[in-house]
Structure 1
Amino acid sequence: MSRGSSPLAEPVPAGQESGLRSRLTEAGLAAFARHGYAKTTVDDVIRQAGTSRATFYRYFENKRALFHELSGDCFRELRALADRLGALRPEEDARARLRLFLADYDALHVRFSGVIRAWTDNVAPLDPELAKEADTAFVKLVTAFCGPIDAAGTTSDVPTELRAALLYVVVERIHFYARSQYSDIDIDRLHDTLAVMIQRAFFGGGVPTGSRLRIGGR
């Protein structure tokens, strides 16, 4: 079906424009996750959203424009996560709050899986403005790890910034693998173990007597 022969756009009651746009963005997330960016078509998105091509083009110029909007949403959520992480300090409840951060990071990874995979595979390069926004988001997240590392006051020959970057890579790659089709890792056990490991290795926290580090299968 050509764009010119699309059915009429779905009528939108007053005040419900944002709801229809959200339906399309949610459909885009689902389609990119299921098919991958390269194989996803506008038809895939509109089928998922239960609407028409004309309605899609009312909000987005093309598939790439939808992808860019979803990328911007992901970067904003990453910055919000960084704000919460930056407040983390090696106190009594640090492990519980770190565990919560890991669960939130995993939820973001799941929600934007198709978008993140497109960045990783470099099949949908970002325009310069979005690329700059991406750099800002990831730098902010790495920088946020510096706060609790410095607050721990542990002695190391490795600069804080390098330790923070390494910690981010650990968190990112573990979640990327744990959510892959080849993994049978129990994500809840993974977060329990990862929180203990991070606190012990990076934040200087001890491990309770008798505790076990395990990730276990499902």
Structure 2
Amino acid sequence: MSANPITRRASYGPSSPEIGTRGANTRSKIVDVSLDLFSQVGFFNTSVDAIAKAADISRATLYQYFPGKDEIFIELLEECGRALFRVARRIGPLGPTEVGFDNLNWWLGEWSWVFEKYSTMFIQWTAVASSDTAVRPQISRFIGGYNNLITTRLETSEIDGIDPVAGAMVMQAMVHRMNLFMHTGRVYGRDTQSIIDAVSVYLQLVLFPDTPASVLNSLALRPSGGTEIAIPEPPSTEGLTTEDRIAGLSTRAVKTVRTLIEAGATQFREKGYHRTSVDDIVEEAGFARGTFYKYFSEKQDLLVTLSTQALDGALDLAERIRHIDPMAEHETALRQWIADMAEFSAHYAGSIDAWTQEGNDRDLVYEFGAHGQGMMDASLFTLIDRKRDYPLDPVLAAVLFRALVSRVPAAAQELPEPMSEEQFVDLIILCIRRGFFSHLLT
């Protein structure tokens, strides 16, 4: 045997002194092609082999730079995170003045630019974080640090009536969700600037409800597009619903099917659709693998059935909100609706995420989601389409309303000190009344 020990070459991490110019270029190429592949087919459908092939290197060479694709995702997250932090540090003073409103509008424009560049990361990070990966703590750390930075800016801006931590959380949740909607085709054809302007007006009023109309008109913001919500046609659910699947089955079989569906909802929520396997579902349900295939042809088949349930829930919530006055003195009905909406969003979180994930065989599932969201937006539009003396696109206002009630409850649970249901319902009501109806407040 040779007396010389066999040593493995050190990994070429970003701070490795051995990486050199050639190695740095290879590492950069791996990251760049990974971003392209994540965009084209989705994070979960991108393999290490595909990344290596696109980078024109061997699989073994890729592993000298990254242990796997999770670590590549983390590096991309760090890259876009640094860009967002640079923008956040440059936000000027905020307040109910023309300068304050201009600073907010500028920040949102810069934020949107970063989102545009790294849209793949923002679109997929929720689904990736929900999976059992090394990415989750990194995303939590990023969100926490960014919230702290915005909180500090709000504290120096002397906002009134809303806690700076809660205000920062709402700002980040709304900006991320609206950019997500824009990049997944759910803003009814509005362009980027129109969305930035609508979010600017909304957040300005949430933070500073006493902002004069003259200030809101000072930037010559421009609502765009039509004044109606175009609702996609509903897809046929014949033969796909839970009731269809259990028709004619024994009582015991009906219970089995319902248990499998609920197990799927739980696993999709906890691990994400792509990282959930049939084995995960049957283990959650307590059945053998063969039992699953007795009632469902594949995981996608179960997702379709869950989506029909989610559509029914969305349509019910959409109909209920039409009959609620958000400015009513007695807010019992609104409070219950917000709580029910939060429960609905949490229960079907994995299915809802799958509606927008790239790389999913999702045509039918996407149609369910698009119709349900269209119906919800149409209902919200009826509540907030009121005359104002400042610019706010009523269609985008409806989308903002949906972003608020669908994202803030979950974001409130991600804070270092999670909010109770009563607390986040109070916060959402405050954001509804300030952001959409400040001109009616006395």
Q: Please, what TM-score do these two structures have when normalized by structure 2? A: 0.40
Note the C-alpha offset of 1:27. 0.9
1:185-208 deviations in Å (ceiling 9; x for gaps): 33420111211220233245537x
- 1:14 positional shift: 3.0
Given candidates 147, 156, 169, the residue that maps to 2:403 is: 169
Counterpart contact for 1:24–1:49, Cα < 8 Å? yes
Task: Give the aligned residue type for 1:137.
Answer: G
SS of 1:48's equivalent in the other structure is: helix
1:180 and 1:91, CA in 2 relative to 1: closer, same or farther beyond 3 A? closer
In the other structure, the counterpart of 1:216 is none
Structure with higher Rg: it is: 2
Structure 1 runs of 4+ off > 4 angstroms? 152-156, 179-183
Distance 2:327 2:407 in 1: 27
Q: 1:20 to 1:75 in 2, by over 3 A?
A: same
Counterpart of 2:418, as a letter, is D
Letter in 1 for 2:372: A
The aligned counterpart of 2:426 is: 192
Matching of residues 144-183 of structure 1 within 5 Å = 144-150=379-385, 153-180=387-414
In 1, the alpha carbon distance for the partners of 2:406 and 2:326 equals 21
Match of residue 25 from structure 1 = 261
Letter in 2 for 1:131: Y
CA 1:173 to 1:123, structure 2 compared with 1: closer, same or farther past 3 Å? farther
Q: Distance in 1 between matches of 2:417 and 2:348?
A: 18
In 2: Cα distance, 1:51 partner to 1:200 partner? 50
SS at match of 2:331: helix
Query: What residue number does 1:213 align with?
Result: none
Which fold has the larger relative contact order, with Cα–Cα distance below 8 Å and residues 6 or more apart in sequence? Answer: 1
Tell me, yes or no, if the aligned pair for 1:154 and 1:203 is still in contact at 8 Å: no
Given candidates 354, 361, 376, the residue that maps to 1:141 is 376
Distance 2:414 2:356 in 1: 13
Rounded to whole Å, the distance in 2 between the matches of 1:51 and 1:175 is 33
Q: CA deviation at 1:179?
A: 4.2
Equivalent of 2:309, from 73, 78, 84? Answer: 73
User: Match for residue 113 of structure 2?
Assistant: none
Out of 29-38 and 98-107, give the one that drifted further: 29-38
Specify the alignment match of 1:48 in structure 2.
Answer: 284
2: CA distance between counterparts of 1:33 and 1:159? 33
For residues 155 and 104 of structure 1, do their structure 2 counterparts lie closer, same or farther at Cα, with a shift above 3 Å needed?
Answer: farther
Asked if structure 2 preserves the Cα contact closer than 8 Å seen for 1:24 and 1:56, the reply is: yes
Identical-pair percentage = 26
* Alignment size in residue pairs: 194
Describe the shift of the 1:119–1:130 C-alpha distance in structure 2 as closer, same or farther (beyond 3 A): closer
Structure 1 CA distance, aligned partners of 2:410 and 2:344? 11
Deviation at 1:176, TM superposition (A): 4.1
The answer to whether the Cα contact below 8 Å between 1:37 and 1:124 also exists between their aligned partners in 2 is no
Q: Give, in whole Å, the separation in 1 of the partners of 2:256 and 2:290.
A: 13
